[in-house]
Structure 1
Amino acid sequence: MKIITIVGAGQMACALSFPATQNGNKVRVVGTPLDRDVIETAKTTGFHTLLKRQLPSTGIEYYQIEDVNKALDGADVVICGVSSFGVDWFSDNILPIIPENIPLLSITKGMIDLEDGSMITYPQYFQSKLILNKKLSINAIGGPCTSYELADKDNSVVTFCGYDIDILRTLKSLFESPYYHISLSTDVVGVECAVALKNAYALGVSLAIGLTIGADGLGHEHYNSQAGLFGQSVKEMKHLLEIVGGGEENIILSAGDLYVTVFGGRTRKVGTLLGQGLSIEESIKQLKGVTLESIVIATRTARGVRVLAKRGIVKLSDFPLLMHVDNIINSGAAAVDIPWKAFETEKI
């Protein structure tokens, strides 16, 4: 039996408690300052108010943030369970107190663009935030997996990435199950960029949903247009993977994660609202209280690409869908007007 401490009572982090406890491990869930109600309810009833599922009835304990040191005592693995909006909080408050001998496994998807247009993954960002000379094994999870379906034990295929294959094998042994299938990769940049990019492009594909159902919501969802945007998304994501130096095989993670994201969740909702004609401000207002990581990653990626274009490293014309999404989100584009003509190619 191993002790797994989850910091951040998010949906995906807590969904991991199912395969973890099934394998006989002990799970400790620590809430952030924003998770107080989630932790209190789970502690008294076992119900996760955001995941909307009963968590495992045995092998799991709950802690408020004041008891984080107690939850870390004797732990074998720490899971970063915050959203991208909590990355800095985690870096400032949790990284410094994780002992060097305990590996970190992050579920947070996203990237950060730097001033020169380059983009780094959250594992790279965490590494940069470590205090001088501290060594910590930082690993992450990528792949097409929704928290709800993992909790329901639907077959899910993911990749654990990190720089030490032996540590990755140990982490895999804690979580693999008949329904949770884990590949391993030391290409951290490739895996993490692949799964981060899908949020931006899932928003783009979802524009087609709003366009076809219409402003009144009475139309029918069409799939030809979605498929066209899906294909263009994969093309642009593949190019972005090349730019960051990720292995091209990671495109299967981008495509798989894009597929599952378009079928439901927050990103589909905001893309659909934009396609129906709402402004980004109106869409965010309708989804009040919902974290919209897709807007963050789309903004950061487009900003990075624009800087790289100014430096002559890439061409904006190679990213027409990303640029259109960015114009809608950040430049006040009056309406969705998919640049279909820009997607056309001629191969001889």
Structure 2
Amino acid sequence: MSIITIIGAGQMASALSFPATGNNNKVRLVGTPLDRNIIDTAKDTGFHSTLKRQLPKTGIEYYQIEDVNKALDGADVAICGVSSFGVDWFADNILPIIPEDIPLLSITKGMITKEDGEMINYPQYFLSKLPCNKKLSINAVGGPCTSYELADKDNSEVVFCGEDINILRNLKSLFETSYYHISLSTDIVGVECAVALKNAYALGVSLAIGLAIGPDGSGKEHYNSQAALFGQSIKEAKHILKLVGAGEENIIYFGGDLYVTVFGGRTRRIGTLLGQGFSFDEAMEQLKGVTLESIIIASRAAKHIRSLAYKGIVKLSDFPMIIHIDDIINSGASVDIPWKAFESEKI
């Protein structure tokens, strides 16, 4: 039995308690300052108020953030369970107190775009934020897996990535079950870029849903247009992965994650609203209080592409979809899918 300390009681982080306890590990679920009600409710009833599921009846303990040091004491693994909006908080407050002999596994999907337009993933960002002379094994989870279906024990395929394959193998042994299937990769840049980009492009694919159902929602959802946007997403993501030096196999993680994200969740909702004709501000008002990582990732990805175009490394015309998404989000553009720009000739 191992002790797994999960810091951040969001949906996916909490869903990981199912395979973890299923393998007879002990889970310590620690809430961030924003998770107090989640932890209080779970401690009293076992019910997770945002995941909408009963958490495992045995093998799990609950902690508020002021008890995080107690929760880390004697732990074998630490999990970063915050959203993209909590990455800086985690880096400033949690990284410094994680013992060096405890590997970190991050479930947060995303990336940071530096002032010069360079794009780095969260494991790279965490490494850059470590206190001087501190070493920490920082690993991450990618792949198509929704929190509620993981909690329901639906078969899911994910990938754990990190620098040390032996650490990854140990992490896999703690979490892999008959329904939670884990591949391993030392291509951190490739995996993390792939699974981060899917949020941006899932918003773009979802525009077609809104366009089809119309402003009042009475229309019929179409799939030809979604498939066309899905294909363009693959084309652009494959290009970006090559630019960052990622292995081509990572497009599998992008494609799978894109598929599951388009079929449900927050990103689908914002894309659909925009496609229906709501302005970005109007759509955001309707989704007030909802964590929308896709907005951040789309903006950062577009900033990276624009910086490469400015340097003459790429052409903006090779990325019409992500640029249009960025124009909608940050320049007030109306949805006008650049279908003609997707066409190509192959001789």
Task: Look up the SS of the partner of 2:158 in the other structure.
Answer: strand
| Cα distance in 2, alignment partners of residues 254 and 198 from structure 1 | 6
| Aligned residue runs from structure 1 range 193-232, under 5 A | 193-232=193-232
| Cα distance in 2, alignment partners of residues 221 and 70 from structure 1 | 50
User: Which residue is 2:98 aligned to?
Assistant: 98
User: Which residue is 1:346 aligned to?
Assistant: 345
User: Which residue is 1:292 aligned to?
Assistant: 292
| Cα distance in 2, alignment partners of residues 20 and 172 from structure 1 | 10
Does the Cα contact within 8 Å between 1:13 and 1:107 map onto a contact in 2?
yes
The Cα offsets for residues 113-160 of structure 1, whole Å up to 9 and x where unpaired, read as 122222100000000000111110000000000000000000000000
* Worse-matched range after superposition: 305-314 or 85-94: 305-314
Instruction: Find runs of 4+ consecutive structure 1 residues off by over 3 angstroms.
Output: none
| Cα distance in 2, alignment partners of residues 83 and 117 from structure 1 | 22
User: Which residue is 2:127 aligned to?
Assistant: 127
User: Which residue is 2:115 aligned to?
Assistant: 115
User: Which residue is 1:40 aligned to?
Assistant: 40
The Cα offsets for residues 169-205 of structure 1, whole Å up to 9 and x where unpaired, read as 0000000000000000000000000000000000000
Task: Look up the SS of the partner of 2:78 in the other structure.
Answer: strand
Q: CA deviation at 1:18?
A: 0.3
User: Which residue is 2:303 aligned to?
Assistant: 303
Task: Look up the SS of the partner of 1:108 in the other structure.
Answer: coil
Q: CA deviation at 1:44?
A: 0.3
CA RMSD of aligned residues (A): 0.5
The Cα offsets for residues 197-221 of structure 1, whole Å up to 9 and x where unpaired, read as 0000000000000000000110000
Does the Cα contact within 8 Å between 1:200 and 1:322 map onto a contact in 2?
yes
Identity %: 80
| Cα distance in 2, alignment partners of residues 227 and 77 from structure 1 | 40
User: Which residue is 1:150 aligned to?
Assistant: 150
User: Which residue is 2:253 aligned to?
Assistant: 253
| Cα distance in 2, alignment partners of residues 200 and 22 from structure 1 | 33
2:338 maps to amino acid: P
The Cα offsets for residues 60-86 of structure 1, whole Å up to 9 and x where unpaired, read as 000000000000000000000000000
User: Which residue is 2:330 aligned to?
Assistant: 330
User: Which residue is 1:277 aligned to?
Assistant: 277
Does the Cα contact within 8 Å between 1:77 and 1:102 map onto a contact in 2?
yes
1:183 maps to amino acid: S
* Unaligned 5+ runs, structure 2: none
Q: CA deviation at 1:93?
A: 0.3
The Cα offsets for residues 267-318 of structure 1, whole Å up to 9 and x where unpaired, read as 0000000000001100010011101100000000101111111011111001
| Cα distance in 1, alignment partners of residues 109 and 43 from structure 2 | 27
Q: How many correspondences in the alignment?
A: 347
Task: Look up the SS of the partner of 2:51 in the other structure.
Answer: coil
| Aligned residue runs from structure 1 range 133-144, under 5 A | 133-144=133-144
1:48 maps to amino acid: H
| Cα distance in 1, alignment partners of residues 322 and 339 from structure 2 | 13
User: Which residue is 1:235 aligned to?
Assistant: 235
User: Which residue is 1:179 aligned to?
Assistant: 179
User: Which residue is 1:10 aligned to?
Assistant: 10
Does the Cα contact within 8 Å between 1:116 and 1:308 map onto a contact in 2?
no
* Unaligned 5+ runs, structure 1: none
| Aligned residue runs from structure 1 range 48-127, under 5 A | 48-127=48-127
| Cα distance in 2, alignment partners of residues 274 and 200 from structure 1 | 14
